[in-house]
Amino acid sequence: MAAMSSRFGFLSGLVSAAIGLLVGTATEVIAATGPLTNAEMTVKIETLKTALEGFRTIGEIDKILMDDKSPQANPDVKRMLDETDCKKALVLPDENPPLQAGDIKVPIMSLEVSGAGCPMTYKTYISGTQIDGGFDGKLYLSYKAQSDEARALGDIDEIVYDGTLKASSIKKPQGQGGGVEFDFTFAVTGHSTALGNFTGSSGFDGKMVVNVTPDPGGGMPMIGMDGGMTEKRIVDFFEAPGGGLKGDLRRTMTFVGLAPSVVHTLDGQEITSKQYDSLSALMNPPGIGKLGGPGTSVPPLKCGVEVYRKGDLSLAAAEALLAAGSWPKIAPLKSVSAASDTMSLNNGAFNGYSYNAKFTPDPQFLRVDVEICKGLACDTASRAFLLDEGKAYADAVGDFTVLSRCEMPPAAGPVR
Amino acid sequence: MNAVVSGVILSIAVFAADSKAMTVSDPKNLMPTLAGYFQASSFATTMACPQTASFEAIDARCSLRCTDVFCMSRCDTARDFEKRFDVHIDECSDDKFNIFSDTGLRIEVSQQDFVDSGSTWLLPLLKGFGFYLQPDLGDIELTGVKSESVKLIEAGRIRTISAVVVDADIVQGVGLSRHRMWVMLTPDLDGVRQIVAFAIGDKSYSDPLYKLRGLVLPKITH
């Protein structure tokens, strides 16, 4: 059951992602097109947000068909699906091996509920073929409410997704890295009780490649990335009250080395990442929305790790300094820094030791992992930082004392 | 149907000084399920007095409006002083205590409330939930209880704690349409930190009105 849930989770996430892109775009379109006051905009956004909650019905159907004992299943949906007029045809993910490209796995499955007297019709499938180093697949989903009771489940009474799922792994010589290239795009059509007919498309494509360059001297290899990804969100509620809502939001991420370069556009016009984030954050869509980490709306922290020889700075001495709000006056053996919103890998060597410092951003916190190794023997420390608060910590890592800290950026001056 | 017929309609009380009371109903009789996650413990031990913990919020309060077809909610983003705040247990006696937040929430919890809530302060919170709503009237109907794991960051360390999520609907007017809400509790923490988060809306995307500092809410829960 655990394996099945996991695979279902992917499907749910995939569909939610497509839904989410649609929902997110709708919000941003409103923000961009109409000469609306903030209050009007908020009301319109809430209208859409509520209307699009009807999408959740689709998730409920999946959940029930995949696991009809799910305690989270909506009992109304379950009862309707169990009516004798509903015919079910299911091919569950366990019955076929998944499509796979690198770490990306997509289950093969199909679920169908039909019948003239059934309160709803529903069909979804993921199909495809495994090709050399990847797969070529298709995602399809259709839903139609056929009874008044089904229509009352949510505002969306009819919707069709038709999508392409393609991925292929990028192979490099042994020990030199590798990556994956992907293209997931979806076309959506449907009908909203509140807003009328709509069409849209969404998706993301790109490639991510990790390059590992061995050190000829036998030291730590250099690690870099190239490639990038573009998310596209396009929607057109062409029968919406007031003349429709339409827009095109894109985020393009390009990797050079380890630092991603990101460009955001709305209807072809470049916008700031903050504008993009604030537009997206107006409505947290099912599945992919942020869950409100306060750090998502504050500037990134300046973070760093410093390594000291234990004999120069003991853990107790370091903790005493930090408790007093001070910082060591002596020079560290190693020092690395990163911003809290940027994935960063740092590695190197000193005095016969090798070290790795990894900064992993999450929407709600930053994780900092430090590893110091002598040969194959490694010691580690891990800390997590909230994104709206400066903190510093000391850890004993083998023969060393490691200080990690994040600081709030300087307050911005008044805007003139 | 039996569950509905035998459902427990919980008593009404006014607790929040500035808001009218909500009624709380449990037609599916979910409170025993919730209580099963919390070890029965004494009022005094679990709710040590006084105590303080730090919380934060994305939204401050929500306006609700329903038509026969669907409901709309509009939530105001928390102002600076509402984004990070302390919550205190204070003014305690042998059979009751008060929970105050720096943002103005006040909830009185009696020993009987604590027992009725399965050794938690859930029901008093829900009865006082009008503090977060406009209009501040209606019925909160419990719809589900489920458990999951969440991460908590304390002193720079990440640990996993058990969480129990209570889903509920806010019903106003004739009740043809409903707002969803959720409350997350944990049996791993005591006192004011026993309720770690809540929000109006669906858990997968709603911004919390109240969240324990350091709690990492899951992104996808459906």
Contacting residues of A for B214, CB less than 8 Å apart: 386
Averaged pLDDT, A21-48:
37
Identify the top-confidence range among A270-284, A390-404, B50-64: A390-404
CA distances from A402 to A314, A333, A345, B71, B218 (A): 10, 10, 16, 53, 30
Identify the top-confidence range among A25-39, A121-135, A296-310: A121-135
Please answer yes or no on whether A287 and B222 come within 8 Å at the CB atom.
Answer: yes
Each residue's pLDDT tens digit, A237-286: 677 666 555 556 677 878 666 566 778 776 666 766 655 554 554 433 32
Contacting residues of B for A59, CB less than 8 Å apart: 222
pLDDT (0 to 100) of residue A409: 74
Nearest by CB: A284 against B83, B156, B206:
B206
Three-state secondary structure string covering chain A: CHHHHHHHHHHHHHHHHHHHHHHHHHHHHHHHHCCCCHHHHHHHHHHHHHHHHHHHHHHHHHHHHHCCCCCCCCHHHHHHHCCCCCEEEEECHHHCCCEEECCEEECCEEEEEECCCCCEEEEEEEEEEEECCEEEEEEEEEEEECCHHHHCCCCEEEEEEEEEEEEEEEECCCCCEEEEEEEEEEEEEEEECCCEEEEEEEEEEEEEEEEEECCCCCCCCEEEEEEEEEEEEEEEECCCCCCCEEEEEEEEEEEEECEEEEEEEECCEEECHHHHHHHHHCCCCCCCCCCCCHHHHCCCCEEEEEEEECCCCCHHHHHHHHHCCCCCCCCCCEEEEEECCCCEEEEEEECCEEEEEEEEECCCEEEEEEEEEECCEEEEEEEEEECCCCEEEEEEECCEEEEEEEECCCCCCCCC
pLDDT (0 to 100) of residue B166: 95
**More confident site: A3 or A50:** A50
Please answer yes or no on whether A9 and B220 come within 8 Å at the CB atom.
Answer: yes
Cα nearest neighbour of A41 on chain B: B74
pLDDT, chain A, mean: 72
| For residue A379, pLDDT beyond 90 | yes
Please answer yes or no on whether A384 and B72 come within 8 Å at the CB atom.
Answer: no
Averaged pLDDT, B73-97:
84
Nearest by CB: B156 against A63, A289, A393:
A393
Averaged pLDDT, A22-34:
32
| For residue B194, pLDDT beyond 90 | yes
CA distance to partner chain B, nearest, from residue A287 (Å): 5
Averaged pLDDT, A167-178:
78
Averaged pLDDT, A346-368:
86
Contacting residues of B for A50, CB less than 8 Å apart: 70-73
Q: Categorize the per-residue pLDDT at B210 as very low, low, confident or very high, splitting at 50, 70 and 90.
A: very high
Cα nearest neighbour of B154 on chain A: A384
Q: Categorize the per-residue pLDDT at A39 as very low, low, confident or very high, splitting at 50, 70 and 90.
A: very low
Cβ burial of A245 (10 Å; 0-12, 13-18, 19+) is buried
pLDDT (0 to 100) of residue B51: 92
Each residue's pLDDT tens digit, A86-97: 999 888 777 788
CB pairs under 8 A between A and B: 101
Which DSSP category does B79 fall into?
P
Q: Is A314 helix (H, G, I), strand (E, B) or coil?
A: coil
| For residue A82, pLDDT beyond 50 | yes
CA distance to partner chain A, nearest, from residue B177 (Å): 9
**More confident site: A175 or A390:** A390
- B139–chain A Cβ distance below 8 A for any pair: no
Report the range of poorest mean pLDDT among A63-77, A126-140, B4-18, B135-149.
Answer: B4-18
Averaged pLDDT, B121-145:
91
Cα nearest neighbour of A6 on chain B: B222
- High-pLDDT (> 90) share of chain A, %: 17
**More confident site: A104 or A133:** A133
pLDDT (0 to 100) of residue A345: 77
Please answer yes or no on whether A290 and B219 come within 8 Å at the CB atom.
Answer: yes
